[in-house]
Amino acid sequence: MQKVKSGDKVKVHYHGKLTNGETFDSSTGRAPLEFEVGSGMVIKGFDNGVTGMSVGEKRTVNIPFSEAYGPRNAEMIVDVPKEQFPKDMQLEIGMPLMMSDNSGQNMEVIVSQIKENSVVLDANHPLAGQDLIFDIELVEIVGGSPLIIIP
């Protein structure tokens, strides 16, 4: 029976939970997730979790934050003066915003705190610093990258 290896394109159903049991994502009711194993399309721990699986197999994978979205980074939290926001903008904690860094790169940030004269924005991934649990079912091995043999 064929087992998943790096370079294979696979389809999986998954249910992602935090260690407290709270669901943060699931493919239930949607088409299976399709990705190439080892290509960086999914977090490292998810890639490692599907490696070696056979079609129809179900597995629960515990992924430490270091193989998921990494640790929370204090440098990704910035305090921005309120006057840099439009006067009519109704800011709320948890509100997503787009911000540009010094090189013009856009990134999503979340309003994490509203102070008297400033707003604290957090650019960390929402799951940074979290250990994750995935229930995974391998639906299909679609095939791998073509192997080119040079004589």
Instruction: Spell out the residues 6+ positions from residue 55 whose beta carbon is closer than 8 angstroms to its own.
Output: 1, 2, 138, 139, 140, 141
Tell me the CATH number at 39.
Answer: 3.10.50.40
Tell me the CATH number at 80.
Answer: 2.40.10.330
Same domain (yes/no): 55, 100: no
User: The domain containing residue 84 runs over which residues?
Assistant: 74-122
Signed CA dihedral, 19, 23, 24, 30: sign only: positive
Same domain (yes/no): 63, 134: yes
Which residues lie across from 18 on neighbouring strands?
132
State the burial class of residue 53 (Cβ atoms within 10 Å of its Cβ: 0-12, 13-18, 19+): buried
Same domain (yes/no): 117, 137: no
Residue 54 DSSP one-character state:
B
Residue whose C-alpha is closest to residue 32's, from 144, 140, 143: 140
pLDDT in tens, 13-69: 999 999 999 999 999 999 999 999 999 999 999 999 999 999 999 999 999 999 999
End-to-end CA distance of the chain: 30
Q: What is the pTM of this model?
A: 0.80
Assigned domain for 149 exists: no
Assigned domain for 134 exists: yes
Given this model, what pLDDT does residue 104 score?
84
Same domain (yes/no): 15, 82: no
Domain count, the chain: 2
What b/e sequence results for 94-105 when a residue is b if at least 16 CB atoms lie within 10 Å of its CB, and e otherwise? eeebeeeeeeee
pLDDT in tens, 99-138: 887 788 888 999 999 999 999 999 999 999 999 999 999 9
Same domain (yes/no): 92, 21: no
User: What is the rounded CA–CA span in Å between residue 45 and residue 3?
Assistant: 17
Residue whose C-alpha is closest to residue 28's, from 134, 141, 132, 128: 134
Assigned domain for 1 exists: no
Assigned domain for 150 exists: no
Same domain (yes/no): 140, 118: no
